[in-house]
Amino acid sequence: MEQILKNSRVLVTGGAGFIGSALIETLLSNENEVVCLDNLATGKRENLADFIGNKNFCFLEGDIRNLADCQKAADGVQYVLHQAALGSVPRSVKDPITSNDVNVSGFLNIITAARDAGVKRFVYASSSSVYGDHPALPKFEENTGNPLSPYAVTKKVNELYAKVFGELYGMETLGLRYFNVFGRRQDPDGQYAAVIPRFVKSLIQHEAPVIFGDGSQTRDFTYIENVVQANLRAATASNPDAYNTAYNVAFGDRVTLNELYTMLRDGLAKFDPEIAGINPVYNDPRQGDIPHSLASIEKTSRLLGYAPQFNLKQGLEHSVKWYWEHLK
């Protein structure tokens, strides 16, 4: 990776989550000082276990909904990698108020604290959900549709706030529209767990995973190491044209959920042959879910130098091995 963030003080919000902890791992290995702000609502202390005791790591248990917590975390920081959010489309459909409090009010707190602290670069997690009902594939950054869920609305508002802060206050903001990120440490538990860890856990337990819909819907699954690369490239981008806009972070390929299921089942069957005979069950589609997703990564590659190193097959091999070792 050509662009390496080194010898800097970096704030990672949501650092106890699986994306945040992967970022911290890489940042510390590159001799950065890292501040982690997390309220542990969805993140886990065990995701930080390898960093506790590192003199370059500081954990602040706090909430982005509290401006004072954000100000404390941003003090003396040069870069912010803002990952903290309340994810899940279904969760936002059930409880839009809390999703808005965390994802919109919390975002405004942290970007305001970053502005007041004179932070050099503010990189934040957006989402492919902002494309909403726009039918075209692949998804290009300029062409978004109407949001289909409260979660999508919150991420769209984040992008609007970031652009306004960039224009009004001279900040350098870069939004990363994540497409179905997966990888080690992604939580398989709870009703809002992402599809890959949910499928994996069910299969390891010899239970039939649930596919919502008929399984023909497609997704552009993105391995965690590609996401880490995108964050670091966003933090170190030197082209002024790269600032105050949003980027797709994906691999640029898609697979149906049925195909994904088969890949996971076959991968786990190498460890436990009985898994090969487990078939999924199908349930009604979920409200707010989009039918198909595929990203163009041309803009991200051109302006950030993003070049994803792991395709779906490679990422699943790493992930399945990790889950087998940690869930058995």
Reported as a single tens digit per residue, the pLDDT across 166-181 is 999 999 999 999 999 9
Q: What's the CA gap between 228 and 210, in Å, rounded?
A: 29
CA angle 128, 2, 225 (to 5 degrees): 40
Task: Please report the pLDDT score of residue 1 as a whole number.
Answer: 41
Contact between 146 and 163 under an 8 Å Cβ cutoff? The reply is no
Contacts of 124 (CB under 8 A, 6+ apart): 80, 81, 82, 83, 107, 111, 158, 162, 173, 174, 175, 176
For residues 192 and 321, the model is more confident at 321
pLDDT at 2 over 70: no
Clarify whether 151 is annotated catalytic. Answer: yes
Class of the CATH domain delimited by 9-182+224-250+297-309: alpha beta
Task: Please report the pLDDT score of residue 290 as a whole number.
Answer: 78
Q: Pick the catalytic residue: 79, 151, 178, 247?
A: 151
Report the amino acid identity of residue 156.
K
Our measurement of the distance from residue 298's CA atom to the centroid of its chain's CA atoms, rounded to an integer in Å, reads: 19
The predicted-structure confidence for 195-237, as pLDDT tens digits, reads as follows 999 999 999 999 999 999 999 999 999 999 999 999 999 999 9
Task: Please report the pLDDT score of residue 3 as a whole number.
Answer: 65
Query: What is the average pLDDT across 142-151?
Result: 94
The predicted-structure confidence for 86-140, as pLDDT tens digits, reads as follows 988 889 999 999 999 999 999 999 999 999 999 989 999 999 999 999 999 999 9
User: Tokens in use for 252?
Assistant: 């640029």
Domain coordinates of the chain in residue numbers?
9-182+224-250+297-309
Our measurement of the distance from residue 97's CA atom to the centroid of its chain's CA atoms, rounded to an integer in Å, reads: 21
What average pLDDT does the structure give for the chain?
94
Q: What's the CA gap between 212 and 284, in Å, rounded?
A: 5
The predicted-structure confidence for 268-321, as pLDDT tens digits, reads as follows 999 999 999 999 999 998 877 778 899 999 999 999 999 999 999 999 999 999
Q: What's the CA gap between 229 and 166, in Å, rounded?
A: 23
Contact between 290 and 148 under an 8 Å Cβ cutoff? The reply is yes
